[in-house]
Structure 1
Amino acid sequence: MPYVITLHRVQEATQESPPAHTARVLIDRLWPRGLRKQALGDIQWLHDASPDTALRKGLHSGELSPKQFSRQYQQQLQQTPDTLIPLMKLARAGELQLLTATRDPQNSYLTVLRQAVLEALAEEDRECDGGEPSSPVCYAHLKE
């Protein structure tokens, strides 16, 4: 099943109305500067899925290269797979927009997160194929 997960800046998302059946989730660990919580509207904030503070600081200080950062962030997501479940449910229900305050979302940690969500969805789809659903996420599409 094809899933649509797009990456956007949160500042742009707060100024636009989302298409129908689109869930928007802010993934930054820190609250974006200059953005009021009232401006979020229907946007959810899931900071647990963002890179932890040590990773973020390591990248910004230059201690970690972007490649090392991506690898360690992938490991973080693998060690805490439950953080992907809310995103998987939203992706199964329709389009999912992952939001960040980063200037270039296409070249940010969101690409790693999107890939992790897509891989988790594919793995669960393989497990569900021809068998009983293993979790509520597996049969979320049947509720429509």
Structure 2
Amino acid sequence: MATVMLRRVYDSSPAGTYRILVDRVWPRGLSKDHAAVDLWLRDVGPSTELRKWFGHEPERFEEFARRYREELEGSAAFGELKDAIAAHPRVELVYSARDEDHNQAVVLRDVLAGSGR
């Protein structure tokens, strides 16, 4: 299993890292070249309805995580994410949220690690 790390898409990654953008919407103000994203899995991001409901409000995070895990169950995009991770030794899930503790990449990492939180 690859080492899966999290990083804001605006920050650079160490050489040899496969970067997977897990946002449904392209990051504001960032060119595709500067993002250095190897794969954009927009469909693995939370639904538009869930993303808007959450609004990056930390007090809603636990409920957001629960609903997002439900969305991931049986998701073809989540299967694609797992395949991409399996194919690379070092992977970073990159995201645009300012809050590094309350975002979909945190939920994805936990689900992939089996903790699901």
- Shorter chain as denominator, the TM-score bin is 0.7 to 0.9
**Residue matched to 1:38:** 33
| TM-score, length basis structure 2 | 0.81
Find the aligned partners of 1:77 and 1:42 in 2 and give their Cα distance.
22
**Runs of at least 4 residues of structure 1 off by over 4 A?**
none
Identify the match of residue 87 of structure 1 among 57, 81, 89: 81
Unaligned 5+ residue runs, structure 2? none
Q: Tell me the secondary structure at the aligned position of residue 97 of structure 2.
A: coil
Q: 1:90: Cα distance to partner? A: 2.8
Q: Quick check: 1:9 aligned with 2:8?
A: yes
Identify the match of residue 47 of structure 2 among 52, 57, 75: 52
The number of equivalent residue pairs is 112
Find the aligned partners of 1:65 and 1:8 in 2 and give their Cα distance.
22
Q: 1:109: Cα distance to partner? A: 1.6
Cα deviation 1:63-120 (Å, max 9, x = unaligned)? x82111110000000141x21223222322211100011113333221111122333x
Q: Match of 2:49, as an amino acid?
A: A
Q: 1:61: Cα distance to partner? A: 8.5
Q: Quick check: 1:117 aligned with 2:117?
A: no
**Residue matched to 2:15:** 19
**Residue matched to 1:74:** 69
Instruction: Name the CA shift for 1:46/1:61 in 2 (closer, same or farther; >3 Å).
Output: closer
Q: Match of 2:69, as an amino acid?
A: Q
More RCO (CA 8 Å, sep 6+): 2
| TM-score, length basis structure 1 | 0.67
